Amino acid sequence: MPVVSYKGISRSEVRMDGVSLTTKAAVIGPDEGWGENAMRVFRIAPGGNTPSHQHDWEHVNHVISGKGTLTIGDETFELSEKDFAFVPPNTMHQFRNPNDEDFEFICIVPKRGA
């Protein structure tokens, strides 16, 4: 099925050291025919965050709704609805939601990072 309805995506809690109040849904990846990459949707509830960590692959992001922050190295950026971001490989990074509504964004990774 080439179309994935946003309303139908299946979210599961992210269980990982340093994660708080975050769910993840896989939307398009190798199973849909995108051989080398995976598009996922993360939703961070108010007060939540992803871990501060690094790995040898990049993230390509787009904010679906809400707003939050993205720390890359020692810089912190504000992300608002519809903004885009690129997190380089091998760089410490963390998404946080210090606001009072959900912060939801696309995160694309190569398949080895999915």
Distance from C-alpha of 98 to C-alpha of 30, rounded to nearest angstrom: 33
The answer to the question of residue 67 lying near a copy of itself (CB under 8 A) is no
- One residue of 20, 21, 32, 102 binding a copy of itself per CB under 8 A: 32
The answer to the question of residue 33 lying near a copy of itself (CB under 8 A) is yes
User: 5 with 25: CB under 8 angstroms?
Assistant: no
Distance from C-alpha of 38 to C-alpha of 50, rounded to nearest angstrom: 18
- One residue of 20, 51, 83, 99 binding a copy of itself per CB under 8 A: 83
Number of residues that bind a copy of itself (CB under 8 A): 33
Give the Å distances, CA to CA, from 22 to 13, 18, 44, 75, 103.
6, 11, 4, 22, 9
Chain positions contacting a copy of itself, by CB under 8 A: 2-6, 27-28, 32-34, 36-37, 39, 58, 60, 62-64, 70, 72, 77, 79-88, 106, 108
